[in-house]
Amino acid sequence: MRRARSDLTQGQDFLAITRTTLDYLEKGQWWPARAYLEVLLSSELVTSTEKPALTGILQQVEALQGKEPNQPPPSTGTQASTDSATAAEGPAATLRAIRDHRGEQARNMAELYYRSIKLYQAGQVAEAREGFRQVLADNSIPRPMKETARTYLERIEGSLAPPGQPDEDGMK
């Protein structure tokens, strides 16, 4: 659990954490998979639509864990290894689907982010402003990109507010 929390606090994003979790699931290593799932579920990275599916995966892992407490599967091609791989297919497939959907969403947001920067540089600040707002409302992009988007948005807001006039938030 410590390693999972450490990965999260060191800035690993949703996709990186799910990759690690999938690796543990596919190897039949239920304890570390469970730890990563618990940390992921307690984080801000998970959306309300993803939470039920991840909770279901966690419940499946807990059930698998109960069948084989503290016994990692052999690394050879034995029946136990095959059984663990088969048992992990359900939770792993569900987690892969969530990861793939999130990856597509992240790619779309990254494209919007870069398009908004180009619009800003081309002087099309209203369009750039809307793009940056959408980027900031999404939690699939990495923190550094969010900070840059916030900086651009602050510049745009500052340039659009007439001197001495309050901006949208009522601030001068």
Q: pLDDT 10s digit of each residue in the chain, 172 long?
A: 777 777 666 667 788 889 999 999 999 899 999 999 998 898 888 888 899 999 999 999 999 887 654 444 444 444 444 555 566 688 999 999 999 998 898 899 999 999 999 999 999 999 999 999 999 998 777 788 999 999 999 999 988 777 665 555 555 4
pLDDT number for residue 138: 86
Q: 72 near 28, Cβ under 8 Å?
A: yes
pLDDT number for residue 11: 64
pLDDT number for residue 69: 47
Q: Which two structure tokens, joined as six digits, stand for 122?
A: 């081309």
Question: What are the CA-CA distances from residue 146 to residues 46, 117, 132, 133 (Å)?
Answer: 17, 12, 9, 10
pLDDT number for residue 84: 54
Number of H helices, E strands in the chain: 7, 0
